[in-house]
Amino acid sequence: DPDIIMVGEIRDRETMSAALAYAQSGHVCMATLHANNSYHALNRMINFFPLDSRSALYMDLSVSLKAIVSQRLVKLKEGKLAPAVEVLLNSYHVQELVERGDIPALKEAMEQSLAPGSQTFEQDLFRLYRSGLITLEEALRNADSPTNLSWLINNNENLDLPHGEEKRGDSSYELSMSDPGSPSYKEFTLSLNDRTDDE
């Protein structure tokens, strides 16, 4: 009786159903799936099944799913490749969204999640850029949302510029290379520490 079951790749409903059955029987089931990110991976799982069975599927996924890990290779400054990683942990809030079938809300839930270990591609690309491992252009090129990544860079008060990088514009990085018409968020600041007495 195995403790861990590895499914090489989920390509159809039968394989997906088997993976869910393994998980529900108490086994650790690990599987791979072709998808661009965690949101698309979950959508692929759901789209294997017809609409009339979605309600039961949402319940099964909300209980059985533990995490979705997505990765894409980015080019380091030294020329090698390294993974940028997105992690969707099945926190209580994520579990509620999946149970309701509110899949479009998952991206925002990941960005706002305080659960240790959860992160978007933008957050990990920001880490790689801040560490001086990748260029700004490479980070923006691999982001699902270059605007969100630019916002992270512009609004990080403790950002130390990697060697060889210069600030663009007056006091912020601009997103002109990827979306000239995108709005600028440099006038906004975000603090998770300040709370009012009414909160």
Helix, strand, coil percentages for the chain (3-state, nearest 5) = 40, 15, 45
pLDDT band at 105 (very low <50, low <70, confident <90, very high): confident
pLDDT band at 110 (very low <50, low <70, confident <90, very high): confident
Q: What does the pLDDT look like over 139-157, one tens digit per residue?
A: 999 999 999 999 999 988 5
Q: What does the pLDDT look like over 80-103, one tens digit per residue?
A: 999 999 999 998 888 999 999 998
- Domains annotated for the chain, with CATH where assigned, are 4-119 (3.40.50.300)
For residue 117, the model assigns a pLDDT of: 76
Measured CA to CA, the distance from residue 174 to residue 180 in angstroms comes to 9
For residue 15, the model assigns a pLDDT of: 96
CB 82 within 8 A of CB 128: yes
pTM (2 decimals)?
0.74
Q: Average pLDDT over the chain, rounded to whole?
A: 82
